[in-house]
Structure 1
Amino acid sequence: MTADPADDTRTRILRAALDLFAEHGYQRTSLRQIGERLRLTKAAILYHFPAKENLLAALVEPFVADLEALLDSAQTQPTELARWTVLEGWVDTMLAHRRPLGMLFHDIALIGRGDTYHRLVEIAMRANDLIAGPDAGSRERVRAVQAVAACSDPVVFFADVSDEVLRADMLDGVRRLLAAPASDAAAAAGAGLGPGSPPHGTPVGRRRPGRPRALGREQVEVARRMHAAGTHSVEAIAATLGVSRATVYRHLEGQ
């Protein structure tokens, strides 16, 4: 019988390493401990990973590869669509790799001696350029760097918040960060850049000023989950979704 590829030795080593790094930290976990957990010799570990830092790089690799694929897909899109493809995709990638990111947060710097570090730097630079846009000035470039941080750091620091709630909060925050100055408010509303507006693409027609009086089905589900989790007040939910408190209360009634 052919063995399940998911249970091959290399995969088992990576799983055990991730668990032990979470329990004891990278520095305090030895290859011998990983081998003991799997009943493998240190030599067997070294056959697949010549050094402990190779384990860390391998654990980060799926995350890095997903970010590279995201940027490749956004590269050929129009500026505004590319910007929000990167931002939404960045949040989703962070959430998809939430467990290893949280566990390895303090150890990722240790991959700095290898190729992974250079790839991460290149990824950050490409993301900043796509978010800022081709004719960006210093303000837009600073905001782009801040936007990447806004789509990254909360995943690590708010491990107790659900994916749905955290995603809504992160994207709301970055929309507010990138909102146009007050003098450009009308243009921003028309382009769909105001708080609570959909991030993907540019809406057809101009959006009327003021907050919407209704929520879409997905937003209703997010509002109800946020309320049920007890982590947000109605005021906070309304601010996150860009609607009035009355609109939130109306959708929460009878749930």
Structure 2
Amino acid sequence: MSRSARPGTREEILDAASRLFAATGFKGTSLQDIASAVGCSKAALLYHFDGKDAILGELLAPAVEAFRDLDARLAALGDEAVRSAAVEGYVDLVLRFRREVTVLYGDIPELLQRPAFAGVHELIERLKDALAGRSRTPQAHAAALLVLGGVPIACMEQLDLRDDELRALLAGSAVRALDLPGA
């Protein structure tokens, strides 16, 4: 039994949802928004998917499977080879699934629009500029984003390090990532 009311509708829904989730976040996108972007009714959309969570699940499934594949490859490696393989594999994974990663992180811009965070976006942009050494090169920009994204995630994890040890580790890693001379 074909679940498609017209050829490509399911794929069109996934594509539209992916674009909308990446642009306005999962929370900020309604089923009606997706249906309108596809040019179908909400009922037609619900014919193909049980809801927004089902769409998200299907969108993220290939990325999750690729992450599992990477995990299996890394598990088979010895201590000497695992770090470089993890770096290369993870970077490749994120590059391959950029839109899906954007969806996962997508609600951050919406949160920054709330009154409690007035002006924070501009502060982040200025910090990113400073981390890039005020360089306009894409390389400096990418390194600054790496530091902006990585430091908070490292701080959220409960590590068996004192704050001064973690600070030294993060600052040193950030300097290396930014490739700042003399630091």
TM-score range normalised by the length of the shorter chain: 0.5 to 0.7
Who is 1:91 aligned against?
Answer: 91
Unpaired stretches in structure 1, ≥5 consecutive residues: 1-6, 109-157, 175-195, 197-231, 240-255
Who is 2:18 aligned against?
Answer: 18
Show structure 1 runs of 4+ deviating over 3 A. 160-167
Unpaired stretches in structure 2, ≥5 consecutive residues: 1-6, 109-131, 151-175
Who is 1:73 aligned against?
Answer: 73
Who is 1:178 aligned against?
Answer: none
Q: TM-score, normalised by structure 2?
A: 0.52
Q: Secondary structure at 2:29's aligned position in 1?
A: coil
Separation (CA, whole Å) in 2 of partners of 1:162 and 1:66: 27
Separation (CA, whole Å) in 1 of partners of 2:74 and 2:32: 43
Larger of the two Rg values belongs to structure: 1
Pairwise CA distance, 1:84: 2.2
Query: 1:48-197 to 2 correspondence within 5 Å?
Result: 48-107=48-107, 162=138, 166=142
The CA deviation string for residues 155-213 of structure 1, in whole angstroms up to 9 with x for no partner, is xxx9x98589747x96xxx9xxxxxxxxxxxxxxxxxxxxx9xxxxxxxxxxxxxxxxx
1:12 aligned partner, one-letter code? E
Who is 1:223 aligned against?
Answer: none
Residues 106/11 of structure 1: CA separation in 2 closer, same or farther (3 Å cut): same
1:31 matched to 2:31? The reply is yes
The CA deviation string for residues 52-76 of structure 1, in whole angstroms up to 9 with x for no partner, is 1111222222221111111112222
Separation (CA, whole Å) in 2 of partners of 1:50 and 1:40: 15
Residues 89/161 of structure 1: CA separation in 2 closer, same or farther (3 Å cut): farther
The CA deviation string for residues 98-121 of structure 1, in whole angstroms up to 9 with x for no partner, is 23312431459xxxxxxxxxxxxx
Who is 2:113 aligned against?
Answer: none
Q: Which has the higher helix share?
A: 2
Alignment identity in percent?
A: 32
Residues 161/30 of structure 1: CA separation in 2 closer, same or farther (3 Å cut): farther
